[in-house]
Amino acid sequence: MPELPEVQTTVNGLNKKVLERTFVGVWSDWKRMVKEPGNFKRFKKLLKGKKILRVWRRAKNVIFELSGGYSLLIHMKMTGHLMVGEWKLKKGIFKAVQPGPLQDFINGYIHFVLMLDNGRMIALSDMRKFAKVELHETKDLHELFENLGPEPLEKNFTFEKFQALFNNKRGKVKQVIMAPEFIAGIGNIYASEALWEAKIHPLKDVSELGAAPLQALYGAIRKVLALGVEFGGDSFSDYRDIDGKKGEFEGKKKVYQRAGQPCFRCKTLIKRLVVGQRSAFYCPNCQKIQ
């Protein structure tokens, strides 16, 4: 699933390519993606003629702020990614017009397309078809996001605010930091990377973390997420950027999917364990539970 860096990379790309463009049409062969799919005609009617004022992110959601007081929210879920380009519909399948990354097979599972007034399109490729598309009045967005945790890369997210989140908190640290109501946007990849960076075992109970390890974890979370954004996200699975290209964070990972390979710090072999039905990767020497 795209995490904060992948979603932010998508948002950064969209802001460079689609601002001030107007929606002139919508297509989908999987209307279940859209909230209230039975009202797809109404959705199309409401969206048509709306101008894109800005694109921003909250947690793992891409939000298009539109003219007329509306906002389009897209959650890419497990295998979705947004691209900008030109496609032709042939026998019910959208095919990229220009040769290049957009023609790669992983970019060909297009089930939702937004047509723009300059002839270009925003396409959502999603192999498993779990992505969600919702149109809301902008004034109502705060209600949608009120249960989400703070944004870890915001300047005002200080260590003091981070530390306060752990007051009277219990639970395995990897599960805790991945909970969207605790901190927004951290998924499996960056949780493992941050815990390795901070030298904290993924099964460590957060109630046992003092000020020093929390300071290390705070810095590690911000470091690995910022690095993920800098290198365009991780494309170990399906994620691609808006040009259909792979992110470059894959080569920067220290532990994720490296079980059986030597730790970059101490050469001990990386191990894998399961925490809350999700894989966790760690160094048994650098990240001791006691």
Q: Which residues are catalytic?
A: 2-3, 60, 278
Return the H-helix or E-strand segment holding 23.
strand 23-28
Read off the DSSP letter of residue 48: T
The count of residues in the chain is 290
The rounded distance, in Å, linking the Cα atoms of 92 and 9 is: 29
Burial per residue of 158-167, b for 16 or more beta-carbon CB atoms within 10 angstroms, e otherwise: eeeebeebbe
Among 151, 136, 148, 17, CA closest to 65? 136
Among 167, 14, 143, CA closest to 83? 14
The rounded distance, in Å, linking the Cα atoms of 83 and 110 is: 10
CA angle 205, 207, 212 (to 5 degrees): 95
The rounded distance, in Å, linking the Cα atoms of 276 and 21 is: 43
The rounded distance, in Å, linking the Cα atoms of 199 and 220 is: 9
Residue ranges in 95-243 assigned as alpha helix (H): 141-145, 159-165, 173-178, 188-198, 211-230
Q: Residue 148 CB: number of other CB atoms within 10 A? A: 17
Reading the block at residue 215, the tokens are 């300071």
The rounded distance, in Å, linking the Cα atoms of 87 and 119 is: 10
